[in-house]
Structure 1
Amino acid sequence: MRLVKGFSLIELLIVIAVIGIVSAIAVPSYNNYVVKSQVTASFHALFPLKTTSSLYVQEHGVFPDNSASSAIGVPVLALGNISLLPQSIPGSGSIEFTFTSTDAAHGQLRNKKFLLSRSSTGLWKCITQTTPLFVPLSYLPDGCGTP
């Protein structure tokens, strides 16, 4: 009896096909996971600013602008930039997060943004739009939506 060592060609081809199928499913899922995790991380970085912005409104009567960013503790993030956008109605405004154009942000998020908007009554909501400038709704955490 002859002892055969190694794999046959058909066995190797089956293994390569299985690896191809698994990677065809896994890579897009992984990219989607990375995008969602970066959006969630930036979203949660804005949460403390909701409190400090509301305190600023109580003390000064207006929503803070970018000149007050150090007073309310706006963090510097590698993923993007935070802007404070007061509106014409006293006490209302938005905190805008814009993803950076560098490699720190995923390619699907570069230069896209979303907003946390405060009404004059103190209610906050997350806002995005269906334009190329905004983060797609499918990547935002639950509870975010269009105005």
Structure 2
Amino acid sequence: MKTQMRKVQQGFTLIELMIVVAIIGILAAIAIPAYNDYTAKAQASEAFTLIDGLKTPLSANLSETGAWAIPAGSVTAGKYVASIVSGGAAGAYTLLATYVANGANSQIVGKTVTFTYNDATGAWSCASNLPNNIKPASC
């Protein structure tokens, strides 16, 4: 009596490998642009964080002394923010943050964020030339 030997499958078939490669390609096509936007948002948030740290001392200094100047020792630059400068006049004092010219995500390079303080109402408003998909909802 002859015994039958069964052939055991070794490895994957070509079609199985092609399906896996196609799935990875589709996921990469979706993930890479999303990751790019995510890093741009994270880098853009640096200006908002730095300006938030300046709002209280500036408005307090304005109400106490009448001067609109960034206090000495304040952080006015970062890894992605080239500078923050104060300006404006009575009724519309401003803080202008400018992003670096290189070394950051291309969506924020050279862009600006302007916060304006209305001393009559004590309210801050925001304007920016950042793309809408990067700009925070509060701006």
Which TM-score bucket, shorter chain as reference? Answer: 0.7 to 0.9
> Is the Cα contact below 8 Å between 1:61 and 1:90 reproduced in 2?
no
CA contact (8 A) 1:62 1:91 kept: no
Note the C-alpha offset of 1:14. 0.6
Q: Out of 23, 28, 42, which is 1:23 matched to?
A: 28
Write the mapping of 1:1-147 to structure 2, written as runs, cut at 5 A.
Answer: 1-64=6-69, 69-71=70-72, 73-87=74-88, 89-90=89-90, 92-103=92-103, 105-121=104-120, 122-128=122-128, 134-144=129-139
Q: Provide the rounded CA distance (Å) in 2 between the counterparts of 1:92 and 1:112.
A: 21
Separation (CA, whole Å) in 2 of partners of 1:135 and 1:33: 14
Structure with the higher fraction of residues in strand conformation: 2
Structure 2: 5+ residue stretches without partners = 1-5
SS, match of residue 96 in structure 2: strand
Q: TM-score, normalised by structure 2?
A: 0.84
What is the aligned partner in structure 2 of residue 131 from structure 1?
A: none
Are the equivalent residues in 1 in contact too, given 2:77–2:84 (CA < 8 A)?
Answer: no
Q: Which has the greater radius of gyration?
A: 2
Query: Which amino acid letter does the alignment assign opposite residue 142 of structure 1?
Result: A
CA–CA distance in structure 2, aligned partners of residues 135 and 119 of structure 1: 23
Superposition RMSD on alpha carbons, in Å? Answer: 1.8
Distance 1:143 1:92 in 2: 19
TM-score (norm 1): 0.80
Q: Which one has more relative contact order, counting CA pairs under 8 Å at least 6 apart?
A: 2
Q: Give aligned pairs, total.
A: 133
How far apart, in 2, do the equivalents of 1:91 and 1:74 lie? 25
Residues 1:83 and 1:41: Cα distance change in structure 2 (over 3 Å): closer
Identity value in percent: 31
- Determine which structure has the larger helix proportion and give its number: 1
Deviation at 1:99, TM superposition (A): 1.0
Instruction: Quote the Cα distance in structure 2 between the aligned partners of 1:114 and 1:123.
Output: 16
